[in-house]
Chains A and B, each alone.
Chain A
Amino acid sequence: MAVMSIFANPHRFMAVSKWFAWGFTALGSVVILIGVYFGLFVVPPDAVQGDSARIMFVHVPAMWLCLFAYAFMVGASLISIVWRHALADVAAKSAAPIGAGVTALGLITGSIWGYPTWGTWWEWGDARLVSVLVLFFIYLGYMAIWQAMETPQKAARAAAILCLAGAVNLPIIHFSVEWFATLHQVSMKASDEFKYPMYVVALGYLALFGGLTLLNMRAEIMNTRAEMLAQRRQAAAG
């Protein structure tokens, strides 16, 4: 609780987060570049799939991050519902578009990889791809809720409820999609030298996610302040 109350103060958050936001963004970008360089130029082509397997360096970390981002939003929503922590709402809201973007990236790269490998752009038999598609729609619904509500307080509450409802249902959705799937793409048996760049890119994604989420949060807080300022000026003038 003590740690959380430190961040409950938006002023302190703004002072600290400025450096972290840009630091994480820069760190993430550099680490991603390093990982992608090793993935594209250093690692030898895959024995079976050849060079097309290299898209995995973008795809697999994206699939990991889209789950991580949602888990982050679930944690923030839980904190928001239990402790009415104002910054938790901002955090969940700020992470959503990034999570949705990463999910879209994972889906698109998965489909680009699928064409030379499976011979089809989209394989309904792959349970993981289909579950992530459902996750993408949950992200869209979450962002739509934020847009649709009149007051930010109500929007925050409704969005948090939806986020938790989605979290409860996601395992069931995944299980049912797996049941539905006929063709299982088993996890790629990657060699170690293939795995390391993937981990590096994943770490870079994670740092970039942290940085971009913090930047989004800062923009959100500044936006709220600007609106309050405008209202105060209007009240003073009128």
Chain B
Amino acid sequence: MSGSFSVFTRELKLAWSGGGGAALPVGFFAAASSITPFAVGNGVENLKIAGPGVMWIALALASLLPMERLFQADLEDGTLDAYAGSGIGMEGIALAKTLAHWIATGIPLAIIAPVLWIMLQGPPEASLFVIVFSLIGSAAFFFFGSIGAALAAGMRRGGLLIALVTLPLYVPTMIFGAAGLYAAASGGEWAAPLMLTGAAALFGVATSSFAAAMALRTAID
């Protein structure tokens, strides 16, 4: 446990000191949401229909961005080999790394989400819901994404493969989270989507590190 914790703190320090690498997905999230009105039209009604959904897609894609480097960098420079010999289970490593990256990137994504929400004509009083949904949703996206990240870690251009492998796993979170955002926008029933999004995230947290660890052990063989 203490071993996993040191991996976790190391990852956090690296993520925040790496020249803004952790902030790039936030920029992508903001840019992708901001170009929406150019495509769907700037009318308030259009944005009310498309806005929450497009924002949720942008959040999912922004969460995919850090996945390519999640394990790849450590695999290339031999850190992962050192971890494998350290006696910490690979599951703990995968969990610690994904959690650290979610804290470094997923939480900033959730913090900026209400700003984009209001730009896309969402009601400002729902901002708190947007933060909560984005926090839970990005956790689900990060942990499901870590499976694809681990599978593609040994490939030179694994980014597209991660997307192809991971996006089907995003479907439940996509449905529940977007349903929750639309409910928050219209003042509808949000508790059920919130709980289901939470269930998807918990399922991802509970299972993904086992699959990721199995893939990582293959990658360092």
Contacts and interface: CB of A to CB of B under 8 A. Distances in A.
Contacts of B219: 154
Interface in B137-172: 147, 151-152, 154-155, 158, 161, 164-165, 167-169, 171-172
Nearest to A143: B164
B179 interface: yes
Contact of B158 (A148, A175, A177): A148
Nearest to A180: B175
B34 interface: no
Interface string A22-61: 0000000000000000000000000000000000000000
A150 B221 CA distance: 13
B49 to A, nearest CB: 15
Interface in A158-178: 158, 161-162, 164-166, 168-169, 172-173, 175-177
Nearest to B172: A176
B6 interface: no
Interface stretch (B50-58, B77-85, B99-107, B207-215): B207-215
Contacts of A169: 168-169, 172
Q: Is the interface of B mostly helix, strand, loop or mixed?
A: helix
A81 B210 CA distance: 13
Q: Is the interface of A mostly helix, strand, loop or mixed?
A: helix
Interface residues of B, number: 27
A144 B161 contact: yes
A138 B170 CA distance: 12
Contacts of B164: 137, 140-141, 144
Interface of B: 147, 151-152, 154-155, 158, 161, 164-165, 167-169, 171-172, 175-176, 179, 196, 200, 203, 207, 211, 214-215, 218-219, 221
8 contacts: A141-B165, A144-B165, A145-B165, A161-B151, A161-B211, A162-B165, A166-B168, A179-B196
Interface of A: 81, 134, 137-138, 140-141, 144-145, 148-150, 153-154, 157-158, 161-162, 164-166, 168-169, 172-173, 175-177, 179-180
